Structure 1
Amino acid sequence: MPELQTAADGFLLDGEPFRILSGALHYFRVHPDHWQDRLRKARGMGLNTVDTYIPWNLHEPVRGSLRMAGGIDLPRFLDLAAAEGLHVLLRPGPYICGEWEGGGLPSWLLAEPGVRLRSTDPRYLDAVDDYFGRLLPLLDPYLSTRGGPVIAVQVENEYGAYGDDRDYLEHLAGLLRRHGVDVPLFTCDQPGDLARGGLPGVLATVNFGSGADGNLALLRAHQPQGPLMVTEFWNGWFDRWGGIHTTRPAADAAAQLDTVLAAGASVSFYMFHGGTNFGFTNGANDKHTYRATVTSYDYDAPLTEAGDPTPKYAAFREVIARHAPVPDMPLPAPSKKLNVLDVRLPQSAPLLAAAGLLGPGVSAERPRTMEELGQDFGFVLYSAALPAAGPVTLEVDGVADRAQVFVEGQPAGVLERESHHRALAFTSPAPGARLDLLVENQGRVNYGQGIHDRKGILGDVRVNGRRLQEWTSRPLDLADLAPLAFGRTDAPPVGPAFHRGVLALEEAADTYLDLTGWTKGNAWINGFHLGRYWSRGPQSRLYVPGPVLRAGDNEIVVLELHATTRMSVDLRDTPDLGPTEE
């Protein structure tokens, strides 16, 4: 593959002028059987490059154990990009933001009290050095200087919005170089953060969605020579639970794109194809109030969550064609979708009763955080005995992020971080009554100082003003639901429960799991964790990639945390991401 160089006024590829026309496509947000399709559609829109983050928390969920298989087989993704004739911009972080759980930083970093993330704290840098020491040698063959598709590598990510520790950035750039990364390095920042996030000798690039003329001028003022590059051209946006579905008119985004290209700048769309926050991988924001990101990462991008072209696909291709050659390829057709109504889920397994099957409990004087328990995502069940009968005021120092409270298995209320809840009143039926708090990690904060986001019960729990001691903290392992013992039921059980059913299909295709009538929880099909649902919206259907399904029997499992009005679900042939702002 040809090599990229920077010149005074642009990029050169093997000595010839070159404009990067890229789009963000996160392999870890797309089913691996769809990678080739999405890459081909990127080329069809006129792109010559794709960019992707690398999520540290998926590749090293346990320190010292690097994973590269299945949905996170990055070498395979890079091979497929090269086969499609696409270059790659690699963005390894270690912090990636991306509305991704914890900004991609693994939760085990937070098991260290007082650790300072994204800094020169030796505890953090030692972990980064170890991780890059395992990751980068695997990627060495994919650098363009070795004949691979990777033409440039990013240093950190929007660091100027977080800090100004030049030594930290120098350390990361040096680490990349020491491990043989000899392609151009670049940083990316929002316009006002260019000075804080830049690094001498490293190409600075800018991120924005509008105000192209002014923002490119700010980049040129900061960096008088070198290519103009918009690493994140924000053509859409993400959604949060309790909000609306955010959209942006195609004509508006296309006009800004035209301005960028007319200025001679290179560009990368954020996003070209958003994909999905499968499982527990969504992030969150906390600007004085905690807000979790939804499961869908559709992003109102040129391709929908299911990979179908939106009006932006055609609009952007038309703009690109004014400035660069575009392949003579027809617009992609939407994929086939399934529509199957009233799929019964007649079996159930109450969660509280099954908790012992999902993980061992840890006994201690106080509740243990998720990080202390060695758990990354999901739920912890905390249990203790109430000291006496009668009225109880329960106070919790910190809940991260949502605690359902039960007394003798009966619901007593909910404490939500988002609503700043810390206290609850109820009645204890007897001395020694069992108190359970089912705490959900709804997504670690991915932006700002809030990334130091420990989960579970934080601090002490008090009953009528006295600290409650002798707790069992039980991390629930939902990666494998095989231990659950399901029984047939005629009516939904009270409280959190898993619900199971089997659907026979003649063929597999993309579809959307409609959970109308359900309240809040998670869903799996054939063991594949689709993600979270919540009746508060905006999203009300979960995308199901066709490769998850199969001809024959398909197992559907739903974990409902509260209650459902129906013991069935629907598979729909259209998405429902919620209402938009008029």
Structure 2
Amino acid sequence: MVQVENEYGSYGTDHGYTRALRDVLRGVFEVPLYTNDGGVEWTLAGGEVPGVLAAIDGDPRSGFAARDRYITDQSELGPLLDGEYYTTGPDFWGSANTHTTAVGNPSLIRQYVEDLDFVLGAGSSISLYMFHGGSNFGFSNGAIWKNYTAAFITSYDYGAPLDESGRTTELYDVLRDAIAKYVPEGSIPEPPANVPLAEIQNFTLTPVGALFDVDILGEKTAREAPVTMEELDQAYGLVLYEHMVTTTLQGVLQPGDRARDRVIVYVNGTKKGVIDSTYAKPAEVSLSLQPGDVLRLLVENLGRVDYWSRESGTFIALEDPYKGIVGNVTVGSQVVSGWDIYSLPLDAPPASQEIRPESKALAIAAESPPVFFSGTFRVDGGNASDPMTLDTFLSVPDGVKGNVWVNGFNLGRYWIVGPQQSLYLPGTVIKADEENEIVVLELEPNADSLTAFGAAERTWANHPDPDYP
């Protein structure tokens, strides 16, 4: 089967568009087509396409009833399909956002089994979302706009029966037993035994260069007013905006129309505060600037928005797609003009030979600008022909916020606030019985070294946000 759009009814009602998409797909695939929308009237009405099977997601009871009630075109009717049945849900960065899981929640697991019985017992169909968890490697995590930025964590495990490392969980066993009642005995093969994950003892990372070093920043774009990440032809990462102060400025800093998404503010190389859109009310940063001061705004794209809230039948203003700074920067009532802008997609960390020796001799203290740290580790005794024996969960326990590269591969973001406190490091990235290079960009360094290690179990925890005490 091939799906025509996904939850399109949550976004719009342009049936000319969805019919055209249907026709394109018919010219490519000789398989059944289907739509997938939320199980309520307005989403089904917006997403349905003539000649295409209408499927629902979420609760199958209310969803199937809604489809039967609101989809009346016979060409859209047929087998009942729950195209997205959720195994818990995604996690979002934040001190108050605990890890979502069915572990230790027998009533939730019982609900899963009852829903499977309801669907399969009637001869209907269901797709588990997620069945196999995943990872938002690099900067690829998304976000939901809720009048603040709800940014997905690096892990996209979703409480899945197969976790993001590909290993079965207790939930897998429960759901497998529930499904087995509806298929011929013995038709479901036994899963392979879970391979133990590797453990890597503590190792130390040392500074190798400052993010604001001229060799790392690269070419600048000079503009009177800031430009967006998109105007820099940049999709992910960070943008640095630098202004040489020429007149006295005093008051609250406003980075364009609002923070997009996390703005670290520096004056003369010292951090003055963070304006973070993951909070419904981002902090205010007040400045008192004199001629000759250097104002820097480091803006991080926390994730492209892929969904937004809808209340009382009316769309909340759609989160527009732009990242970086949109509009003028002001301090108090004064517009700040004249910016040097540096695009920092960070597709790869800087190579050691690209960094000047003096940039490596860093004096790091609280409120220092971002720093790259580097080190090496070994995984001895793993089976190089079976990468799963090298899998591990990497932690940077004394880091605040940043990204991790192993052998040039960007594992993703870490953030002390949680709920995620370790990153899935696939064995396919690791070189067995050899030195493996790790580079960490720590956005808020406070010491001249970092510690890292690999564990056989994931770590979930929440901690206070040091930028929002």
Please report the TM-score for the alignment, with normalisation by the length of structure 1.
Answer: 0.69
Tell me how far 1:456 sits from its aligned partner: 0.2
2:292 pairs with 1:432:
yes
Tell me which residue corresponds to 1:12: none
Secondary structure of the 2:428 match is helix
Cα–Cα, structure 1 residues 370 and 390, in superposed 2: closer, same or farther, change >3 Å?
closer
1:496-515 paired onto structure 2 within 5 Å = 496-508=370-382, 509-515=390-396
Deviates more, 1:243-252 or 1:538-547: 243-252
Per mean C-alpha deviation after superposition, the further-off stretch among 244-253 and 362-371 is: 244-253
Partner residue in 2 for 1:274: 133
Equivalent-residue separation in structure 1 for 2:332 and 2:269 (angstroms): 21
SS at match of 2:213: helix
Between 224-233 and 563-572, the greater mean CA deviation after superposition: 563-572
Distance change in 2, residues 1:340/1:490 (3 Å): farther
Contact kept? 2:304, 2:321, Cα under 8 Å: yes
Kindly state the Cα deviation for residue 477 of structure 1 after the two structures are TM-superposed. Answer: 3.3
What is the match of residue 198 of structure 1? Answer: 48
Whole-angstrom CA distance in 1 between matches of 2:254 and 2:126 = 51
Task: Indicate the SS of the match to 1:206.
Answer: strand
For 1:165, give the aligned amino acid.
D
1:220 Cα deviation from its structure 2 partner: 2.8
- Cα deviation digits, residues 85-136 of structure 1 (max 9, x gap): xxxxxxxxxxxxxxxxxxxxxxxxxxxxxxxxxxxxxxxxxxxxxxxxxxxx
Partner of 2:323: 455
Shift of 1:265: 0.7
Choose which of 63, 70, 87 in structure 2 pairs with 1:215.
63
State the superposition RMSD in angstroms: 2.1
Write the letter of the residue equivalent to 1:204: A
| Secondary structure, aligned partner of 1:459 | coil
Is residue 492–residue 567 contact of structure 1 (8 Å, CA) maintained in 2?
no
1:530 to 398, 404, 411: 411
Aligned partner of 2:439 in structure 1 is 557
Query: 2 CA distance for matches of 1:346 and 1:562?
Result: 15
Look up the equivalent residue of 1:195 and give its one-letter code.
A
The answer (yes or no) to whether the contact 1:280–1:531 under 8 Å persists in 2 is yes
Moved more, 438-447 or 310-319: 310-319
| Structure 1 residue ranges without an equivalent (≥5) | 1-151
Partner residue of 2:386?
A: none
Q: How does 1:63-462 map to 2 (within 5 A)?
A: 152-178=1-27, 180-192=28-40, 193-208=43-58, 210=59, 212-221=60-69, 222=71, 225-242=77-94, 243-248=97-102, 249-325=108-184, 327=187, 329-354=189-214, 356-389=215-248, 391-396=250-255, 397-419=257-279, 420-421=281-282, 423-428=284-289, 430-448=290-308, 450=318, 452-462=320-330
Distance 1:275 1:507 in 2: 26
Letter in 2 for 1:426: L
- Which residue of the other structure, out of 349, 353, 370, is the alignment partner of 1:481? 349
Q: Distance in 2 between matches of 1:400 and 1:422?
A: 13
Question: What CA deviation, in whole Å up to 9, does each residue of 1:276-303 have, x standing for no partner?
Answer: 0000011111122221110001100101
Q: How many residues align?
A: 423
8 Å contact 2:145–2:319 — kept in the other structure? no
Rounded Cα–Cα distance in structure 1 between residues aligned with 2:181 and 2:450? 54
The offset of 1:497, in angstroms, is 0.6
Change (3 A) 1:507 1:554: farther
1:228 positional shift: 0.8
AA partner of residue 436 (structure 2):
N
Give the SS at the match of 1:377: coil
Using the alignment, how far apart are the partners of 2:100 and 2:259 within structure 1?
29
Over residues 166-185 of structure 1, what are the superposed CA-to-partner deviations in whole Å (9 max), with x where a residue is unaligned?
1121121122234x223211
Q: CA offset at residue 367 of structure 1?
A: 0.6
Instruction: Please tell me the residue identity of whatever aligns with 1:171.
Output: A
Distance 2:129 2:363 in 1: 45
Change (3 A) 1:310 1:522: same
**Alpha-carbon displacement from aligned partner over 1:358-393 (angstroms, at most 9, x marks no partner):** 442111111110001100000000011122357454
Alignment-mate amino acid for residue 343 of structure 2:
P
Residue 96 (structure 1) aligns with: none
Q: Which moved more, 1:552-561 or 1:485-494?
A: 485-494
**Measured at CA, do residues 546 and 327 of structure 1 come closer, stay the same or move farther in structure 2, by a change above 3 Å?**
farther
Q: How many angstroms apart in 2 are the aligned matches of 1:507 and 1:555? A: 18
What runs of 5+ residues in structure 2 fail to find an aligned partner?
Answer: 103-107, 309-316, 383-389, 463-469
Contact 2:260 2:299 in 1 (8 A): yes
Tell me the secondary structure at the aligned position of residue 257 of structure 1.
Answer: helix
- 8 Å Cα contact 1:497-1:560 kept in structure 2: yes
CA drift of 1:155 comes to 0.7
Contact 2:249/2:331 (<8 A) preserved: no
Runs of 4+ in 1 over 6 A off after TM superposition: none
Structure that is richer in helix per residue: 1
What SS does structure 1 have at the residue aligned with 2:230? Answer: coil
In structure 2, do the counterparts of structure 1 residues 265 and 576 end up closer, same or farther at CA, with 3 Å as the change threshold? same
Give CA-to-partner distance per residue, 1:125-150, whole Å, 9 cap, x none: xxxxxxxxxxxxxxxxxxxxxxxxxx
| Equivalent-residue separation in structure 2 for 1:470 and 1:268 (angstroms) | 53
* Secondary structure at 1:231 match in 2: strand
What TM-score results when the alignment is normalised by the length of structure 2?
0.85
Query: Which of 360, 364, 369 lines up with 1:495 in the alignment?
Result: 369
- Worse-matched range after superposition: 240-249 or 377-386: 240-249
If asked which structure has higher relative contact order (CA below 8 Å, sep 6+), I would say: 2
Q: Per-residue deviation at 1:333?
A: 2.1
Asked if 2 retains the 8 angstrom alpha-carbon contact of 1:348 and 1:486, the reply is no
Partner-residue secondary structure (3-state), 1:181: coil
Deviation at 1:426, TM superposition (A): 2.5
Q: Would the aligned equivalents of 1:314 and 1:331 in 2 still touch at CA under 8 Å?
A: no
Q: What percent of counterpart residues are identical? A: 38
Name the SS of the counterpart of 1:195 in structure 2.
helix
